[in-house]
Structure 1
């Protein structure tokens, strides 16, 4: 086998359609470009966002630069220092925090490690930073990670668990 023996596979290469070569070819006269107008001329056509001269959509809309993650989970944060005012041996649950108005029930809670803690607590939250976990456990307390379940809504007309239980 030599370089001059190499050929593409059978059927892999198709010859281009020769346009403007008479009526018998099926692509004669206007060569498939219709009658007149900017798109019938030689050279590139109008740019992608061209809308016939009116101010185009991409200029009418405000800028939205960068990337927006659709699946980002936004946490409410609370520091370990905020928990130091609680009584010792207290069990801090998510329901208590929602009832007191400290957090919103629609977002998950993350405990961060800023501040000092010197009382024994049992803390329930969706997530803990490593420093917060170590500070709570160093004070003799314990951490309980609650699962955060996101109920996704159905995009089809099919069964939707979020809507099924509505009255």
Structure 2
């Protein structure tokens, strides 16, 4: 192979359509742009969402909802997840090292999904009422 013989793959390149080259081409006169109007003129177009001066759809619809940026700092852990951690005292750092919560997490709450069958001591971790009852029933505690 020589530098002067390199070619693109077959079918990778195709000629750009030449418009406005006579009526025989089928794209003469108006060059496929139709008659008159903003879209037929050179440089004539509008921004996305522009509706000719009519109030655009995204401004006609009401604003609704909000997603707090603080949610990324909250995390949930299930009772079944707590079973997999092999530490007697569980805190935020232990859960991060076990990969159960994101590194960004600042607050963790235990929810009652699955079952726990060993005593664990939770330190600075919240729990729902059902999860708290299940942890205490298994001999654990919340600090």
Normalising to structure 2: TM-score of the pair? 0.49
Instruction: With a CA cutoff of 8 Å and minimum separation of 6, indicate the structure with the bigger relative contact order.
Output: 2
Normalising to structure 1: TM-score of the pair? 0.43
